[in-house]
Amino acid sequence: MKPKVLVLTGYGFNCDYETKYAFELAGAEADIVHVNEMIFGMKKLEDYQILAIIGGFTYGDDIAAGKVLANKLKNNFWEQLEKFIADKKLIIGICNGFQALVKSGLLPALDSHEKQTVTVTFNDQGKFEDRWVTIKFNKNSPCIWTKGLDLLDLPVRHGEGKFYTDNATMQNIINSNLVVGQYAKNGKVANGSYPENPNGSVYDVAAMCDKTGRIFGLMPHPEAFNHVCNHPNWTAIREQARRQNRKLNKLGLGIQIFKNAVDYAQENLQ
């Protein structure tokens, strides 16, 4: 049986169809569900194994990006979320979804899933960033979603993508290997270099998880690299495959993130 994914949508959400498509390519069954269907009980989180909180500009980014959505999560179906987490199910937050996860306290959840300890705020450059970046993944992270990944090119598109926290909390996060991915330059961590680090995130944080490795958030968009031709250098990738006499993998490499989750759900949540 295919794992079931709830792709949350609503006012100002984007990327719902791309995310549904990415999960389906990875072998899951995905439903796009309006946040109000959750609030009014028309859909139940318990019927799914994976929750995807997608990118966009939810509720117009009023107050701060992801803040209104975070409040809706906490005030309307927090008990469902707590049970979902206790049942060892999976959550991904992409871009605006990542912002909502940190502002609700679901990430990094050093002590509990209720207290916000980090934030994602305005880019250092003071403008919207729309470009492809390279992410270097932490092989020592407990993250289920990124197993086997090293370097991955993905697009970013955000105005509030800077990860920030105090030094003590950051050190705790580092020591726990909860920094899943960092912005990279020439195969190494970018060390704040712009535009490789497009927003000024401390420690070049692009992605993180909780201590279980099952709750995962990232600013880049893996669902937007679902086919090789999405990549800005895809013609060079195609030509390299031809010269090396190997078959071109038409799936975008971003799909591996979704496949890791689907494989986990099939093995552990059926």
Q: Is 232 helix (H, G, I), strand (E, B) or coil?
A: coil
Q: Is 44 helix (H, G, I), strand (E, B) or coil?
A: coil
Active-site annotation holds for 95: yes
Active-site annotation holds for 231: no
Q: Please choose, from the candidates 135, 113, 126, 88, the residue with its C-alpha nearest in 3D space to the C-alpha of residue 268.
A: 88
Residue of 15, 95, 143, 209 marked active site: 95
Q: CB within 8 A of 126, min separation 6: which ones? A: none
Q: Is 119 helix (H, G, I), strand (E, B) or coil?
A: strand
CA 95/CA 254 separation, integer angstroms: 14
Residue of 18, 160, 196, 223 marked active site: 223
- Quick check: bond before 232 cis, omega within 30? no
CA 161/CA 200 separation, integer angstroms: 8
Active-site annotation holds for 223: yes
Residue of 18, 196, 209, 221 marked active site: 221
Q: Please choose, from the candidates 59, 141, 50, 132, the residue with its C-alpha nearest in 3D space to the C-alpha of residue 100.
A: 59
Dihedral sign from CA coordinates of 84, 26, 153, 126? negative
Q: Which residues are known catalytic residues? A: 95, 221, 223
